[in-house]
Amino acid sequence: MKSPAHRTRDIERQAGYLKREHCTPPPPRTGSDTMWFIRDSCGIVCGIITWLLVFYAEFVVVFVMLLPAKNVAYSLFNGVLFNGLAFLALASHAKAMCTDPGAVPKGNATKEFIESLQLKPGQVVYKCPKCCSIKPDRAHHCSVCKRCIKKMDHHCPWVNNCVGENNQKYFVLFTMYIALISFHALFMAAFHFVFCFEEDWAKCSNFSPPATVILLILLCFEGLLFLIFTAVMFGTQVHSICTDETGIEQLKKEERKWAKKSKWMNMKVVFGHPFSIAWLSPFATPDHGKADVYQYIV
């Protein structure tokens, strides 16, 4: 009598049990085949809210705090710094949202394709019954994207996409830049409060004192909330990269079948090889070079 695990493995090795009509179709894709965008209403709303919150912070920082300031050098320096970081944050968000996270080709789990792999006796092939794909090692199926994603960490509604092998760098940069502009906004808001308490409130802002206070309080609430959230997310992502274990693998406590690499090499796998200023750029596609993405224990 076979155990349930053995029965599952036998089913997944049978090439003919999956029929294409049994598969759930993927979500509609927009534009050309090179454009990746998930039409999930929750994710789209979360993405729009993210951009609107950044624009709100831009408005308060520029029009409430910097333009009324008497010190031109202070306004210029902080204006360039904040807007530069905000631009990088939004660019990272757009890249994380519109980059294919590592989707496995759909519908290749056919008998002919499996036979063409020339598998060795006893070698197991895993097939996803939901998207009719041959599931590579360390790939998991996303119920929102309706695809198997290589090295899937999690699905993030705030970027309306999975965080996987191809876009994890952009997601990490997004959390880092949002945390930086949140901290910067909180610092400037605190400095502005102190300045306005010492001076006449009517002279330290182009808005009325009540409106200025409300705008600054809302900015502080937003900045503190986003700082805590993105800083924690940034830390967990860096830890996941250094340990070479995705969030799903940690949650499921999956057996480690891949070789252990150094933390520095794991960082190069995600951000590119070798180390350069391009690590901080959302416009630079990671070049893995000598960094082996998949290295398994033989």
The reported pLDDT for the residue numbered 258 is 76
The reported pLDDT for the residue numbered 5 is 38
Residue 127 resides in a domain: no
Task: Look up 220 and say whether it is catalytic.
Answer: no
Q: What is the number of alpha carbons within 13 Å of residue 154 lying toward its C-beta?
A: 16
Residue 2 resides in a domain: no
162-199 confidence digits (pLDDT tens): 999 999 999 999 999 999 999 999 999 999 888 877 77
The reported pLDDT for the residue numbered 289 is 60
Residue 57 resides in a domain: yes
The reported pLDDT for the residue numbered 222 is 97
The reported pLDDT for the residue numbered 123 is 77
Among 263, 258, 270, smallest CA distance to 242 is for 263
**8 A C-beta contact, residue 168 and residue 270:** yes
Tokens of 102: 């590592």
Q: What is the number of alpha carbons within 13 Å of residue 95 lying toward its C-beta?
A: 22
Residue stretches of the chain with pLDDT short of 70: 1-34, 202, 288-298
**8 A C-beta contact, residue 163 and residue 250:** no
Residue 9 resides in a domain: no
pTM equals: 0.84
Tokens of 152: 């899937």
Residue 287 resides in a domain: no
Q: Which of 128, 132, 142, 156 is catalytic?
A: 156
Residue 248 resides in a domain: yes
Residue 293 resides in a domain: no
Number of separate domains in the chain:
1
Helix-strand-coil split of the chain, %, nearest 5: 55, 5, 40
Q: According to DSSP H, which parts of the chain are helical?
A: 4-13, 41-59, 72-98, 111-116, 168-198, 209-243, 247-252, 263-271
Range of the domain at 99: 37-103+153-280
Residue 212 resides in a domain: yes
